[in-house]
Chain A
């Protein structure tokens, strides 16, 4: 098992290098240099000053040298200083936003898992029943719905018309005056809609996959054996079929992580949640290159880590993988 872990970790290195190469290439697509962007509105920026800035940022060196320097700083988590007004270190900005994004995504993943698996299992067990047909339709529509639209509709329904849930931010304006119980509910209620929107994307896919997988497992010989042994339907389904059907689900959950992180841009912007996605959007709007690069790399690395965890869990669960 340890051998598998080491092998798996080693595989991450070329992927990480690939990620950095592509991120670097992306950022250097920009027409015009970042120096021009930073000094465009400053009439006092003479050509000489621009040259000095170029040397300062190392932009006058050849590309591969720039790449090497950047990589060197990356591995010690130095993402440079933000181009925007506050001029803070990018690493700081990302760090203060990461927890909330990770929190929402983890809760979404858990929600997806807890809801999609039973739905998939029930659909497979009672194939072609009314329940199955209804869920198939709902899932299908779920695939087609634009998430930001769903967010808007839910905001209108629950926020504006019914007034049940707040529609922006992490806490209400008069949060400090709330008693503890109200504070807790306030926090939770602000997160309900964002988490739901974040999860709705993956739900459709996973329940569909679970259903297909379960159907395949049920047709296996060992299930027929279990049934002919006289085991109750419950034991057959939960103890034998489910365990086997669940294994690939772990991989699927890992694969849906980039989708979740990417989706966070949309719902964080809509619900004004101060997370990584919203920071990315703001940086993109402000053409804040160091921040854009930093978050791009972090996003990809988070995906890498997520996939690693998924693979390791799979290896833990399925002994066949370990050789």
Chain B
């Protein structure tokens, strides 16, 4: 009875300390805070898009086609006279949606395969790692383009495809963590207690392996946003009239000599967003890095 009490008490204390440590380090890291701020700002913009945008993003106004930025249209208008500022605000929704769902998919796949490879080792590990190697041979963009060409370019397909081409890094990370964690005492203890493999993997080892996955996922959102905008730019991503930062840039390319604002602003939005997520990811990584304790 006494021992159990001590164990519970100690476990709670230690957990408390780890989280404290993380937040303390995170709070003092200015760049990480800047990243967090940008990410939160974007969430707010996407959530309140309806109230924040001055015009309806789909409202076509043939008399205002390709106008320079003015007070009335702070970012100018596009070839159909739609307000670019409003379209960009709604475009943030697409970026965030694609970013999170795609990363969600790739993280799930990566965790699953990495855990299996790391835990079971030998031929399972070999097979999965060969699969990773083969997938890494493909220029990712080629693969994504090919698959989306075969299915149709709608937002769900894009999310799934970006997800199934981006899991390799996570899988390797998780596998590495599992390879070391499965040698630890608590794993031996679980096995001695007769716990089934499934339970050991998902209930015990996995929570400890998740820290680098969090970093990878944050950085992955940035990558997914970049990929989605590139696809939309090429016309194989989100299709107009749905506004996406990438497809506004398509109009930018087509009107490159007369409408510089179509090229400048959406790109800046992408840049700032990606910088935000990168800073956040790096900040989280620095805050959980055990080597600096």
Within 8 A of B (CB), among A182-241: none
Which of the residues B142, B229, B260, B264 comes within 8 Å of A280, measured between beta carbons? B142
Given A153-B267, A156-B263; A258-B146 close (CB under 8 Å) = no
Which of the residues B138, B256, B263 comes within 8 Å of A299, measured between beta carbons? B138
Q: Is the CB of B149 within 8 A of A287?
A: yes
Judge if B143 is at the interface, Cβ distance under 8 Å: yes
CA distance A27 to B149 in the complex (A): 10
Query: Nearest-CB distance from B61 to chain A (Å)?
Result: 25
- Main secondary structure, interface of A, reads helix
Segment with Cβ contacts to B, from A11-19, A48-56, A109-117, A173-181: A11-19
In the complex, what residue of chain B is closest to A302 when comparing beta carbons? B139
Of the candidates B134, B235, B271, the one having the most CB atoms from chain A within 10 angstroms of its own CB is: B134
Q: Is the CB of B137 within 8 A of A152?
A: no
Give the chain A neighbours of B199 by CB distance below 8 A: none
Q: Is the CB of B151 within 8 A of A303?
A: no
In the complex, what residue of chain A is closest to B278 when comparing beta carbons? A144
Q: Is the CB of B147 within 8 A of A26?
A: yes
Query: Nearest-CB distance from A11 to chain B (Å)?
Result: 9
Give the chain B neighbours of A67 by CB distance below 8 A: none
Which of the residues A140, A152, A265, A299 comes within 8 Å of B252, measured between beta carbons? A152
Judge if A269 is at the interface, Cβ distance under 8 Å: yes
Q: Is the CB of B236 within 8 A of A30?
A: no
Judge if B19 is at the interface, Cβ distance under 8 Å: no
- What is the total of A-B residue contacts with beta carbons within 8 Å? 131
Q: Is the CB of B271 within 8 A of A145?
A: yes
Which of the residues A30, A145, A280 comes within 8 Å of B150, measured between beta carbons? A30
Given A281-B145, A284-B145; A258-B274 close (CB under 8 Å) = no
**Count of chain B residues with Cβ under 8 Å from any Cβ of A?**
43
Q: Is the CB of A153 within 8 A of B271?
A: no
Which of the residues A14, A141, A146, A292 comes within 8 Å of B267, measured between beta carbons? A146
Judge if A72 is at the interface, Cβ distance under 8 Å: no
Judge if A165 is at the interface, Cβ distance under 8 Å: no
In the complex, what residue of chain A is closest to B219 when comparing beta carbons? A143
Given A152-B256, A160-B257; A266-B130 close (CB under 8 Å) = no
Give the chain A neighbours of B135 by CB distance below 8 A: 22
Query: Nearest-CB distance from B220 to chain A (Å)?
Result: 13
Within 8 A of B (CB), among A107-159: 140-141, 143-149, 152-153, 155-156
Give the contact-size bracket for chain A: 35 or more
CA distance A30 to B271 in the complex (A): 34
Query: Nearest-CB distance from B224 to chain A (Å)?
Result: 12
CA distance A240 to B53 in the complex (A): 59
Within 8 A of A (CB), among B216-231: 222, 226, 229-230
Give the chain B neighbours of A141 by CB distance below 8 A: 271, 275
Q: Is the CB of A149 within 8 A of B256?
A: no
Q: Is the CB of B140 within 8 A of A26?
A: no
Give the chain A neighbours of B204 by CB distance below 8 A: none
CA distance A265 to B144 in the complex (A): 12
Given A15-B134, A152-B253; A303-B139 close (CB under 8 Å) = yes
Query: Nearest-CB distance from A283 to chain B (Å)?
Result: 8
Judge if B48 is at the interface, Cβ distance under 8 Å: no
Interface string of A284-305 (1 = CB under 8 A from B): 1101000010011001100110
CA distance A36 to B150 in the complex (A): 13
Judge if B141 is at the interface, Cβ distance under 8 Å: yes
CA distance A148 to B233 in the complex (A): 8
Give the chain A neighbours of B141 by CB distance below 8 A: 262-263, 265-266
Which of the residues A22, A145, A149, A270 comes within 8 Å of B138, measured between beta carbons? A22
Interface string of A256-270 (1 = CB under 8 A from B): 001101110110011
Q: A155-B256, A261-B139, A262-B141 are in contact. List 7 more A-B contacts (CB 8 A).
A: A27-B146, A31-B151, A156-B260, A266-B233, A270-B253, A300-B137, A303-B137
What are the nearest 6 A-B pairs in CB distance?
Answer: A262-B139, A262-B141, A18-B134, A149-B267, A144-B274, A30-B150
What residues of chain A have their CB less than 8 Å away from a CB belonging to chain B? Answer: 14-15, 18-19, 22, 26-27, 29-31, 140-141, 143-149, 152-153, 155-156, 160, 167, 258-259, 261-263, 265-266, 269-270, 280-281, 284-285, 287, 292, 295-296, 299-300, 303-304, 307
